[in-house]
Each structure stands twice: as structure tokens, then as C-alpha cells.
Structure 1
């Protein structure tokens, strides 16, 4: 409480100073944001995967193209650092003309094709990128001239522009800064975005300041204070006391309904949902047995889980591909049938039940749901032992193959390939040099997933994606649950400058148009 009190006093002081310094506009100096993280892992855009890291990155960097602020719709991608682009008839060669005189933060000069080549080559390299598998089809990235970049593909990539948008590996960094700073780049990032890194206090806060030379114009707020507050109740208290202007919300319907009744609060629920799935680790006995996996699938009551989460923030899923993605096919689903589950366990040699283990994040968006699933499994004799750890430890341990069950949620570029390739192709299996997030060690649909990438028509690609989903369903690599939508709460004083319907970076875009009036 002492820390909260100190923050409140500091915030009140800043607010008073702002009201004195800016009486004509009513704009406050600082946008104060609260996020559910104990610390920042990295601000290197090719390594940032946690929500808090991705949020910060999204405010500091740009891609060649971008999703319109407030949108996650691939059909509305627009120019960002590129002023124009063209592609060959076969979709294999893409040429981008860069905007002129785009400045990097600090003293790192003007954006050139060399920076783009460096950034995307780095994003393609598994040694420097968590998104290298996204760039598997990229054959070459070259500077045609100082302001022109050509990207050549080995095969057509569904939704290619999304790959080089302001999202994950598509963010462009300063080559000069990365080479100068080396490993320190992750804590001193240099981009071209509306806000630039200022300073950070470990496990407390990160400060960004407005970049006055931003190519779209100077931001209308002067800086962002990004407070690291893992406790939901502490963030709520800080917001309701006026200490914070914008907070990461609790993604539960009951909490959302309560927040809507707060004074001076606006609740934003937006896409994309992080698609929650229980992955069954087939590398761990007895989960290599199909009947054991089938028994688990029939023991999980997805409707009950959705009721617990709330359909408004957690709409039910059906396919292994997330709801709303291009190529999703809901022709198959696992039916809740505990009697069948018990029968399958008996046929698999576990009439008296069995014990399995799961590494579980203490996050409020994971642990309560896993407790519901634990109770459901117990009804058919499956004892799921939960090892509850903090979220960074969970992320580390599931990537070391230490869990029988992996409850995981992610938002990806909304085409089927992005999810099928990263979660269900054997090249992405945990433990391989090319590992991404195939926690199940699924290999049922490798041929179809790979063939879909080379398909020459959308019709052929959709058929292959459908066949892949059917095979993955039959192998029971995991149990799809629901899409957990993004929930943030803001003061009515915050005006984003656009209508918020979606954000692939999982946080409201804070742009040069965002204002704060008290």
C-alpha cells in the first residue's frame, strides 16, 4: 500500500503540474498505464512475445506496412514505413519503396533500405528471433537502392503483408543501434515509432517519451509511464483512485461487468482473442496412447469453461484453428461425454485412473481455468497435478517439455497457416532447433500444412487447411477451448484517436493522435 500511496502522490503532482502548464489544451503530460507483469523480459521486437513486452514494442516501432490503428483486419493493411509496394504476378517477388526522411530515435539517423534488410534478415534467423518460422518461405531480402527493398519468396505466403506489418518480426529497427548496443539493445531499443525508450526501473516501471520528430507528426501526449503491477486488485485500486489512466483488465465476465459500473471508466473488449487450447504432450507416456488422449478430450466440458469465463470475453472455439481465422473449419468437435471417457481409459489399461502433471501459470487468465479443468478430469479418474509458477517460469518450463498438459493461448496473424504451422507442424515441435509452440509434438498434418503454403489458388489452399484440421482432430493433439478477448479499461479522459475494434499487439495502440484530457 505504501508503494501505491507514493505512486498516487506522484501522479497527483504530475497531474497538477500538467494542468498548470497546459491550461489552453487541457492535455496531461503523462499517460499512466498499468500492466499485469512483474517485469519486462525484452523490448527487442524480434524476441518480444509476452503481452507487456509486445505492448511496449508496438508503441516504439513501425513495420513496412501496418494494421490501421484499432483494427486487426488484414484487408485494411496500409502503408507504414513503405510509401508503396508492388508484387510479381506469381506472388514471389515483393518490392517496397520507403518513405523519405523517416528518423530513428536518438542520434541514429534516417531509415534506409539497409535497416530494413538488416531487420528482416534478423527476424528470419532463429538465433535472433522468436518468429523465424514465419519467415521460412523468404528466399532473399535485398536493397535495390538506398530507398527500395525487394523480398523474394520460395513459395507464395498466405497473407504475406501481415508478415512484414507492425507486428512481431515485421518491426524495423536501426541497424546502427543494434550493432552498437549488441545484447543491450533489448533494454535500450531504437525504433521509428511515436514514442521512444527513456528509462526503466526493474520490476517497477518503464518510461517512454514522445518522439517529436515522428514522421506522422509529434504525439499529443508527452510521455508514457508503464507501471508493472501483476496483481489484478492493485491495478484496479490504482485505476479507481485516479493513479492510472489505462489498465490491463481481468478477462472474466464478472469482472468486466463490475468495471463497467465504475465511475469515469470505459471498458474496451477487442480482438484478436488469444485462442486457449489444452495441448496434450504425446512425448510423455501414457499420452502417446490415442485412447488416453481421446478420454481427456471427452472429459473436458468446454461449455462449462466458457460459462465460467463468460461468453462476452471468452467465446467458444471449435476447430484447432482460432475462431474467425481465414481457413477455420468447424466440421469436427469433441463431445463432452464422461461415460465414454471412462470407457476409453479402461480400454487403454487405466480402469483405476491415472495421474498426470501440468505446469500452470499463476496468471488470473490461466490458473482458475486450469482448476476447472482439473475438477472435470477428476470426475473420470484423471488426477492432474498442477505445478503453479509465475508466468515467466511457466513460459520457460513449457518450452523445456516439462508438462504433460500445456494450457496455452496466443493470437497470430488471422490466417489458418499461422496457427497450423506454429502449433501443429512437427518442425515447430518443442525440443527441435526450429521449435515454436508445438507443445503436443503433433505431426498428423505436416503434408497438408506444407502443401497449403505452395497452393496456387485459394480454393486449393482452403481444402488443404480443412484436411489438416481433420487429421489434427483425429490425432487429438489438443482440445480447443475458447478465444480470450483483450480487455483493457481506460479513463474517459483517454481518447485513442480512433475506434478500437482490434489490435494484434494485444494492447490499445497509443499513437500520435492519442490525447488525455482531465
Structure 2
């Protein structure tokens, strides 16, 4: 029914129901200049993980808004079972799930293809997560059997909608070839439409999504590296959801703006300084210890804000299964640092070179570290590059010191394997993110991975952390929570406490209230 209203001789037609169309386009502002890759098996940066979470599913998922493994639930697999030894896993695939852009039904064949692709170092940044994989096969069109050489701690998490657990569609990957990295095809609630470098990724609602068509019709995922520009766009209403500046002053200021919600959400990304222990003078333990004694964690947390950050507790982030919450990190002791440098033959100090990202949240940290090191006679020479270049160059082993900030699936094995197992050393065929080239805890890390006794497993993880800390394989600094803000007319559709993909999930239930 339409009602005609005459105002001053002007006829205006108003729709009675609804009076105004409800908003259906969600615009997100991310604090980086561009995407590194849109291939879920290669994506390691915060910006890439977020948008890919809207496109892809895992065989299982952690319930939206949560990060603990206790909240694992069915995703593309409607059910699963394992043998008592934890070496054989069987997954029952949902019937009728459709790949985006008419690439057909997702079946066991796609799941097998995805797991094999994720376990291949040629096609995956997360191949080492699957190093115990013995076989994966399609028993029938809707049944997948995964066989492991040994049980793996938290194995189900490796098949969740994160990193190598993201399921791709075989026909799409084979048809697109190298173009897949900028034309991702998944099964998630939103499908890829367009990518404009250094501008945005556009997604559209997947009307065939197995959980139901999303209420959001379109997502504009915009790259806005400048904090001031991103803030202005958000406060003016141009952005609905924004990646916040990672410090307390930003939280305090934005919280006072009417109609805005702000959250410092889990997980905390552990900010660590990795020193290449194989090159001089850093092959001298005393030099590495001097660097460790130069770091004032409390000062950096005060800089970032206690409401958005916390001191590191170990080389594994706090709250993970197996983290040594009472680990004995090197305390701040500048005089001890100077004495060690003198003893090692550097009475006048030394210079360290680092390649570092311009990403704002990390940049302020390395600048604070630079100032702290200077007090003990250590000059930190920082070469700034964009975030994508930073990731590429540190993986080529081009930086003496690497400042890396990361969260992983919350089991100690994942972090220890990726950052400290010698099989993960950058520049090697099985490289992941072992920038320090350390190998001192290989025995404990690998033994814990297959240990079936939980108490013994935790003890092995503790021993590994102790060795890594004493040998200064990594200097844990602080943990940065994820800062996000949104206008209160956006209903996420769930209670947000955290997200392993580091950005709020946008699901079929996400909608605007007006």
C-alpha cells in the first residue's frame, strides 16, 4: 500500500512498510595498505586472515566469538570420530554444500584435496602443521579418513577454519591456477566479487550458504593504513566496523563517541624479538642475553595501555594449553646488559639491523624497543617497508632481528613448532617462522607432539620453553589484544569475546538494526 502526502503542493510518495530500506552493505576498515594474498593456505598477515574468514569454512570451526578449543563445533563436517589412539580420524561431510560461483558441490574429494594442499610446502605456509599426516582419503563422496603417523596435540584444531584448515574447492583451484591467490573460491557465507589493489576487496552474500543466506548483502573490505584517515572515515559513518589503533588512548577516545562499541578482544598476539643465532655476534649467548636484559616490558605495556595489552609470560602466549605461566623470562636490567656486552667484546656497544613493517601497531613497539636498546649501547637500525614486503623479506632471512607479532591455535605445540622447531627455520625447504634458527628444544617439542599422557606432555612443553628462554631464541615482549570498534546499529549476531582470525566473524546472522 502506498500513501500520497501533499506538502506545499509537492507530492511525495512514502512507502508505509518499511519506511526506510534497512542497510545491507557492511564497510570494514583494515589498517594495512593492501592484501598480501587471498589464498587461505598462504595467508599469514592479520589483514588477510580476517577477510578470508568470511569466504572459507573448515571441516570444523570454533563457535563465532570464541577462541578456546572447547567451543569446536561442526562446519563442513557434520560429525567426526577418532580411534582411541588418536591416529585415525573420520569426518562425515555435509550433503549439498555448494562452492561459490557454481564450482559444484563440496564433497570428500575437495576435503582430501584441501588437506593435501595445506600439507604441501609448495602450496602452503602451514605445511608443518600436517607433518604427522600419513594418509588422507575419500572413503566415499561424503566420508574422509585422515591417518596420522602419531597422535597430534589439538589435531582437530588444525582442521578448523583457520590457516591450513580452510577448505578450498578443487575445481576452482585447478581452473584458476596462479590466479586463485587473488580470486578465492570457498563455501563460506560470502563469496569473492572483486579485488582492487591498495583499495578494497568486495564480497557478496552467498545465497546458497548451507546455514542460510546472509542478511548482509555485500561487504566492502577497505585497506586504509593511515590511522587518522581510518578514524575520520569511521567516525563519519563511512565505515561500519574498524580495526582500531592498538593503544589505550585510542580506546579511551573512541569509547566516548556516542553510538560506538569498542572491544579489546582475544587472542593476544605475542610480540617477540627473534635474533638470528647463527650469525656473528649473535651466536654469542652473552650478546643475546644483553639484548634480553635491555627490554623493559612494563614500559612497553604502559605505552600501549593496560586495557589493550599485557606483559608476555613465556615464549608461548598466555592462556594456551601448555603455556608455562610462571616462566623465568630475563628481567629488565640495563647494567647487566652493559656488563655482558663488555664481556663479549663490545664495550662501546653494537649495531643491529632489522627490516620492519610500517604497520602502525607494530611500528610504535619497535620504536620503543629501539629507544630501550640505545640506553645499553645497542643501536637498532630500522629499515621500514610495507607490510607485504616485510613478510616476504623476513621469510628470506634478510633481517638480523625480526619483530613478529602473532596468535595461533591455542595449544603450545602449534607455537613451539612454528617458531622454534628447527624444521621451521626460514630459508629451509620446510620453513615456517623460525627466524632465530634455534634448535635447542627440538627433542622436547617433538616428544610432546606425540605424547598421549597429558601431564607428561605439559612437562615436555615446559622444558622446551625453559630451554628456549635460557638460550634467548626469542625475547617475548608483550601481548597485544585485537582492537575493534563498530557502530551500535551493527548486530554481529553473537557475543564477541575473540576470534582466532583476529577480526570479528561476519556470519549469516550479522545484520543492521536500522
- For normalisation by structure 2, the TM-score amounts to 0.95
Match of residue 7 from structure 2: none
The CA deviation at 1:22 is 8.4
2:451 counterpart of 1:455: yes
User: CA contact under 8 A between 2:271 and 2:478: conserved in structure 1?
Assistant: yes
The 2-side partners of 1:312 and 1:268 are apart by 10
The 2-side partners of 1:482 and 1:41 are apart by 25
Match of residue 15 from structure 1: none
Match of residue 373 from structure 2: 377
The 2-side partners of 1:163 and 1:23 are apart by 45
2:237 counterpart of 1:242: yes
2:444 counterpart of 1:444: no
User: CA contact under 8 A between 1:82 and 1:97: conserved in structure 2?
Assistant: yes
User: Where does the alignment leave 5 or more consecutive residues of structure 2 unmatched?
Assistant: 1-13
Q: Deviations over 1:399-428 (max 9, x none)?
A: 122222111011101011111111111111
The 2-side partners of 1:21 and 1:348 are apart by 81
The CA deviation at 1:26 is 5.3
2:478 counterpart of 1:482: yes
Match of residue 185 from structure 1: 180
The SS at the match of 2:202 is strand
Misfit runs of 4+, over 3 Å: 19-22
Go from structure 1 to structure 2 and tell me whether the alpha carbon gap of 1:392 and 1:20 turns closer, same or farther (over 3 Å shift): farther
Match of residue 34 from structure 1: 29
| RMSD over equivalenced CA pairs, Å | 1.4
Q: Deviations over 1:231-275 (max 9, x none)?
A: 111111001111110111111011111110112211121111111
2:196 counterpart of 1:201: yes
2:69 to 74, 84, 97: 74
Q: Deviations over 1:43-86 (max 9, x none)?
A: 11111111221111100111110000101010110000111111
The 2-side partners of 1:389 and 1:511 are apart by 34
Match of residue 400 from structure 2: 404
Go from structure 1 to structure 2 and tell me whether the alpha carbon gap of 1:26 and 1:67 turns closer, same or farther (over 3 Å shift): farther
2:99 counterpart of 1:104: yes
User: CA contact under 8 A between 2:33 and 2:386: conserved in structure 1?
Assistant: no
The 1-side partners of 2:121 and 2:20 are apart by 48
The 2-side partners of 1:500 and 1:213 are apart by 25
Go from structure 1 to structure 2 and tell me whether the alpha carbon gap of 1:25 and 1:467 turns closer, same or farther (over 3 Å shift): farther
Q: Deviations over 1:324-349 (max 9, x none)?
A: 11111123111111111111111101
The CA deviation at 1:283 is 2.3
The 1-side partners of 2:28 and 2:15 are apart by 22
The CA deviation at 1:517 is 2.8
The 2-side partners of 1:200 and 1:300 are apart by 41
The 2-side partners of 1:439 and 1:397 are apart by 11
The CA deviation at 1:24 is 6.5
The 1-side partners of 2:479 and 2:302 are apart by 13
2:76 counterpart of 1:85: no
Equivalent residues in 2 for 1:262-341, closer than 5 Å: 262-329=257-324, 330-341=326-337
2:60 to 50, 60, 65: 65
The SS at the match of 2:309 is coil
User: CA contact under 8 A between 1:22 and 1:28: conserved in structure 2?
Assistant: no
The 2-side partners of 1:55 and 1:69 are apart by 13
The CA deviation at 1:456 is 1.9
User: Where does the alignment leave 5 or more consecutive residues of structure 1 unmatched?
Assistant: 1-18
1:258 to 253, 275, 281: 253
1:428 to 421, 424, 435: 424
Go from structure 1 to structure 2 and tell me whether the alpha carbon gap of 1:431 and 1:235 turns closer, same or farther (over 3 Å shift): same
The SS at the match of 1:503 is coil
The CA deviation at 1:29 is 2.3
User: CA contact under 8 A between 2:214 and 2:509: conserved in structure 1?
Assistant: yes
- For normalisation by structure 1, the TM-score amounts to 0.95
User: CA contact under 8 A between 2:97 and 2:210: conserved in structure 1?
Assistant: yes
Equivalent residues in 2 for 1:215-230, closer than 5 Å: 215-230=210-225
Match of residue 152 from structure 1: 147
The SS at the match of 2:360 is coil
Match of residue 464 from structure 1: 460
The 1-side partners of 2:243 and 2:422 are apart by 34
The 1-side partners of 2:298 and 2:193 are apart by 46
Deviates further, 355-364 or 217-226: 355-364
User: CA contact under 8 A between 2:215 and 2:511: conserved in structure 1?
Assistant: yes
User: CA contact under 8 A between 2:248 and 2:305: conserved in structure 1?
Assistant: yes
Q: How many residues align structurally?
A: 500
